Amino acid sequence: MIEDGTGLLTIGELARVTGLTVRTIRYWSDEGVLHPVTRSSGGYRLYDAESVARLELIRTLRELGLGLADVREVISGEKDVASVAAAHVAALDAQIRSLKVTRAVLSTVARRGSTAEEMTLMNRLARLSAAERRRILEEFVDEMFHGLDTADPVIRDRMREMAVDLPDEATAEQVDAWVELAELLQDPRFRARMRQVAEFNAADRGAGTPAGASMWFSRKLVQLAAEARGQGIAPESPEAGRILRDLLGDADPAAVLARLKSTVSDEVARYRELVSVVKGRGPEATYRAEFAWVVAALEARVAG
């Protein structure tokens, strides 16, 4: 405090009181955030007790990440702290979402050992807008069912209405799954396989076949195969043959085998898992073991 009875502080004394550096206080003063009360006869900046309180507020706002422009408006009274804080929360939320995407991309790159080109592609896919993500999905479903009017409408409609999009608060796992899903949906080999699945489904449906029959068949297949595996029934055993007859009825085992092989690939199973993760349900059961048991049982019958 200067010895003139005014109670004013020099910038050095203000620094000692607040624990801030002279350089920081001078910078904030130069930027118009902290104004000196007056100047000494020698031209030095002088501050009062209110300056100390104002400096503490400035330090708090800066530690919370507010820029000097926002701090200046709060100090001057142009904006209240609450409105500035609300705007800053929104900005932080956007930054957090962006950081989650960045982390997911980098963790995927590290796990895969990706090249620079693959990393660039993954980053682009992860940062697509909601409209761009929906376009990728719609194009995939359109190609899958184009011209197949006899495909099971329940399955077709479920695919068309499939809202697979990243939530605003997507986890790193969801972003990672979306990147892999987007790559898979744009893979020509996978698209061709899924088109074949749709074609088989359309060919299997005859006149009067109820909607949703394909889903009913899959559920029954999983149930019977799970029971058979639980009982230790080998796919090539006579007991397996009886289970297949209960499942297939009069259908040709060779034809059913061909259709099942198109739907039990690792790629198709992975597609279902990724969709489930992106939708926030976690990894979904794909019943790979149950489908594999039925395929093995059919192969034993067809070969015999």
In this structure, are 135 and 233 located in the same domain?
A: yes
Q: Is residue 2 part of a domain?
A: no
Q: What is the pLDDT of residues 276-301, one digit of tens each?
A: 888 877 665 667 788 889 889 888 88
What's the confidence (pLDDT) of residue 175? 79
| pLDDT interval class at 264 (50, 70, 90) | low
In this structure, are 134 and 199 located in the same domain?
A: yes
Sequence letter at residue 12: G
Q: Per the structure block, which two tokens stand in for 134?
A: 């929906």
In this structure, are 139 and 171 located in the same domain?
A: yes
In this structure, are 195 and 297 located in the same domain?
A: yes
Residues above pLDDT 90, as percent of the chain = 10
Boundary residue ending a domain (111, 127, 143): 127
Boundary residue ending a domain (127, 160, 187): 127
What's the confidence (pLDDT) of residue 28? 92
In this structure, are 152 and 38 located in the same domain?
A: no
Phi, psi of 168 (to 5 degrees): -60, -35
Please give the residue that has the higher pLDDT: either 167 or 54: 54
Cα 34 from Cα 247, distance rounded (Å): 81
For residues 299-304, average pLDDT:
81
Q: For the domain that residue 31 is a member of, what is the CATH number? A: 1.10.1660.10
Range in 74-78, 137-141, 167-171 the model is least confident about: 167-171
Q: Is residue 46 part of a domain?
A: yes
In this structure, are 84 and 74 located in the same domain?
A: no
CA distances from 18 to 2, 24, 27, 54, 93 (A): 17, 11, 15, 11, 31
Please give the residue that has the higher pLDDT: either 159 or 277: 277
What's the confidence (pLDDT) of residue 231? 92
Question: Number of folded domains in the chain?
Answer: 3
Place of tokens 């639980």: 230
In this structure, are 251 and 115 located in the same domain?
A: no
Distance of CA 291 to the CA centre of its chain: 29
Q: Is residue 3 part of a domain?
A: no
Q: What is the number of alpha carbons within 13 Å of residue 10 lying toward its C-beta?
A: 11
What's the confidence (pLDDT) of residue 128? 76
Whole-model pTM: value is: 0.53
In this structure, are 263 and 116 located in the same domain?
A: no
Sequence letter at residue 91: A
In this structure, are 58 and 87 located in the same domain?
A: no
Q: What is the pLDDT of residues 185-212, one digit of tens each?
A: 888 988 888 887 777 777 766 545 555 4
Boundary residue ending a domain (79, 104, 119): 79
Which structural domain, as residue segments, surrounds residue 221? Answer: 128-303
CA distances from 8 to 31, 43, 54, 298 (A): 21, 14, 15, 94
In this structure, are 288 and 141 located in the same domain?
A: yes
In this structure, are 147 and 117 located in the same domain?
A: no
Q: Is residue 4 part of a domain?
A: no
Q: What is the pLDDT of residues 59-84, one digit of tens each?
A: 988 888 888 888 888 888 888 888 88
Q: Which three-class secondary structure state does DSSP give residue 46?
A: strand
What's the confidence (pLDDT) of residue 3? 46
Mean pLDDT of the chain: 80
- Which strands make up the sheet holding 45-47, listed edge to edge? 9-10, 45-47, 38-39
In this structure, are 73 and 100 located in the same domain?
A: no
What's the confidence (pLDDT) of residue 25? 93
Q: What is the pLDDT of residues 75-108, one digit of tens each?
A: 888 888 888 888 888 888 777 777 777 777 787 7
What's the confidence (pLDDT) of residue 212? 46
- Name the nearest CA neighbour of 138 among 156, 160, 166, 165: 160
For residues 122-149, average pLDDT:
80
Q: What is the pLDDT of residues 28-53, one digit of tens each?
A: 999 989 999 998 888 888 999 899 99
Asked if residue 233 has pLDDT above 90, the reply is: yes
Q: What is the number of alpha carbons within 13 Å of residue 147 lying toward its C-beta?
A: 4
Q: Is residue 281 part of a domain?
A: yes
Residues above pLDDT 70, as percent of the chain = 87
Q: Per the structure block, which two tokens stand in for 102?
A: 């960045």
